[in-house]
Amino acid sequence: MKYIVIFIFITVVSSGCKLNDNSLQGEYDSTTPPPEYPPPANPPINENKVYSLNSVSGLPETVSLLVDGNNIEISGIPSNVNAVFSLKADNVKEDLDSCDTEELGISVTSSGDLSFALLPKSNDGSLNFQCIAGEKILSVTIDYLASDYIPLAIGTKTIFKLKVDETSDGSWILWLYENYYGAGTDQLVAENTITRETIVVSSLDGTWGSVGSDSAKNGKITNDGRYVVFASAAIEFEHGIGGDVGSIYVKDLQNPSNPPKTVCTSDGSTSNPSSGQACYGFSINDVNHKVLLLVSGGYFSLGNSDQIILKDLDNLSVSPVLISTHDGVTPANVSFIEDIPQFSPDGAKVVFQIKSSSFPYYNGEEQVFIKDLSNLSLTPLLVSGTNATTPGNGESYLPSFAGNDSVIFYSYAANLGVPSSTTQMLIKDLNNIGSPPTIVSTSDGTTASTGYISSAMVVDPLRNLAFFVTNASNFPGSNSVSQLYSKNLLNLTAAPMLLSSPDGIIPGNASSYYDLRITSNKLYFKSTATNLGFSNPKSDLITYSINLDNLSGGLSLESEPIGTGYNELEISSARLADQGRAILFRSFDAILGVTYVYYSLKKRDVPP
């Protein structure tokens, strides 16, 4: 009689057992043998562990190890962890011979272990490959987590990562990587906070591999997260001609692999500029996808002077709409437009500063006007006047909406109440256009600032706050340098609040307060001060933030160093060394001449 013996093997998947901070084991159930072994008569408990994942520097909490037959899955490895991992074969007949992957940092060691180190990845993903162990083929999957792509900056200055804009719901953040790349350029990166997707905006295809050769500047993201508009002189971008000549570009975040498109165009295809600088600046509308451009009129057949135009990001082939016009048709005869025009919060109006003999109430001074986008043929509304028709007798400039029905601007005009040898910040109620504006930059609602208000000013219409810089001697914390202040627009009699201070009392010891801007619930500014509560021994230009909902809560440091470089090193022939633990590169030393340099990835604070 013949018997047919059938062996049934049941494989149980395990998420692994963590032995210590440095080792994680994936194992079969004690009744389930490894596939290549016959089942023992009396299998010992926990003797059939087959693979362990190790790291000298410790395993992150997110990591798990799954073993299912000949399939091995390693999950949850953050791709920005500076660690070398090794997958060791325990109680397995054959060591690993080789693995068929060209992924940088993955190799098989002489002892038959799988060794790997993951370079930073901008999105979650998986590496899938096969390894050979004797006659057995293993399928290996490494599921990694996205991380900020943090390039190591050897040969450049310190890289800073800085938030420059975000959508109102926080779903998209726009970051600026300062001093990135070999030439020390600045690059923009958009991050989806929900999916963790990151897109390199100032790049031809949305990746770090094709960033522009010139710095990206003044990035702004539309409130729905669809577009990012920015300035750049990168020659690789559409109609880019390099040098000091820049243009305005838009990146469609729904199609990140497409290159940035020039916004500085009359029909979506014609190169503007073909030479010279045609577009000087822009502002975007938080309500829709419209953008205002300050342009050289000659490139758009709008005369020989500067003009303000409006473009639609959804359809760049549509001809621009002329904004700087007194009748909706005729371009302004402009002597001077200096400041970037601004939309009202509801997107219905535009405010701008202009010196034009073809505009009403011309008296040879720069004035502030408003145009209604629903009817551009209407006469511009005079803002910088004692009433609706009498203009200020001095320059008025830098207008900004403080809500849909009020405008803040700077002025020298004596007939608007500005004392001589000063500039002041004024606010105009658009519902009472026949009345003069009110001075905002006062110590008590009546006494104007004794100094000059600098060109750094931003307004938060949501919270009715204005932020500005002045060296006024009659303001709190005044010293020999300019300070940053806030003013409550609903209570102008209250004293200005000192913000450039470690405690609200002691003023900063440097007057460099640049790049005032508001993103979500924070005010950002830059300073070289060394006494604001954070280490700044070299007086670097560092970015700070203030919580707009708690102005007295102090400053936060926003300039996040993400890599340190060495200015005097010229790098060539760089490659990974020591199983991914270091970088070896060729350089030149004044004493040694051409030499090779070893840079540890595990100890980045140690010089090469």
On the question of pLDDT at 528 being above 80, the answer is yes
Q: Any idea which of 296-300, 354-358, 390-394 has the lowest mean pLDDT?
A: 296-300
Under the banding of pLDDT at 50, 70 and 90, the label for residue 242 is low
On the question of pLDDT at 549 being above 90, the answer is yes
On the question of pLDDT at 226 being above 50, the answer is yes
Fold of 17-145: Immunoglobulin-like (2.60.40)
- The arrangement of secondary structure in 150-320, i.e. its CATH architecture, is 8 Propeller (2.140)
On the question of pLDDT at 492 being above 60, the answer is yes
C-beta of residue 461 within 8 angstroms of C-beta of residue 399: no
C-beta of residue 202 within 8 angstroms of C-beta of residue 212: yes
Q: Is the dihedral of CA 268, 272, 278, 279 positive or negative?
A: positive
Q: Any idea which of 38-52, 296-310, 421-435, 515-529 has the lowest mean pLDDT?
A: 38-52
Longest pairwise C-alpha distance within the chain: 120
Instruction: Of 458, 452, 456, give the one whose Cα is nearest residue 475.
Output: 452
- Interval 170-180: pLDDT, tens: 899 999 887 65
Percent of the chain past pLDDT 70, that is, above it, reads 74
- Interval 139-166: pLDDT, tens: 888 888 876 544 454 544 456 678 889 9
Q: What is the mean pLDDT of the chain?
A: 80
| The pLDDT value given to residue 303 | 85
Q: Any idea which of 394-398, 403-407, 541-545 has the lowest mean pLDDT?
A: 541-545
DSSP lists the bridge partners of residue 294 as: 281, 308
Instruction: Of 426, 424, 544, 439, give the one whose Cα is nearest residue 472.
Output: 424
User: Comparing 57 with 350, which gets the higher pLDDT?
Assistant: 350
On the question of pLDDT at 392 being above 60, the answer is yes
Where is mean pLDDT largest: 65-69, 162-166, 534-538? 162-166
User: Comparing 56 with 48, which gets the higher pLDDT?
Assistant: 56
On the question of pLDDT at 332 being above 90, the answer is yes
pTM (predicted TM-score):
0.68
Query: How many angstroms separate the Cα of 60 from the Cα of each of 84, 85, 148?
Result: 12, 11, 17
Percent of the chain past pLDDT 90, that is, above it, reads 40
- Interval 432-485: pLDDT, tens: 999 999 999 999 999 999 988 887 789 999 899 999 999 899 999 988 888 999
Under the banding of pLDDT at 50, 70 and 90, the label for residue 130 is confident
Beta strand ranges found along 286-437 (DSSP E): 290-296, 306-312, 321-322, 334-336, 342-343, 349-356, 367-372, 381-382, 396-401, 406-411, 424-429
Under the banding of pLDDT at 50, 70 and 90, the label for residue 91 is low
Under the banding of pLDDT at 50, 70 and 90, the label for residue 362 is very high
C-beta of residue 128 within 8 angstroms of C-beta of residue 62: no
Among all chains, which residue has been given the structure tokens 């809500």?
A: 403
| The pLDDT value given to residue 304 | 83
User: Comparing 559 with 350, which gets the higher pLDDT?
Assistant: 350
**Residues 461, 168: Cα–Cα separation, whole Å:** 14
Average pLDDT over residues 420-435: 94
| The pLDDT value given to residue 94 | 61
Domain positions in the chain are 17-145, 150-320, 568-608
Q: Any idea which of 1-15, 65-79, 183-197 has the lowest mean pLDDT?
A: 1-15
| The pLDDT value given to residue 83 | 60
| The pLDDT value given to residue 31 | 39
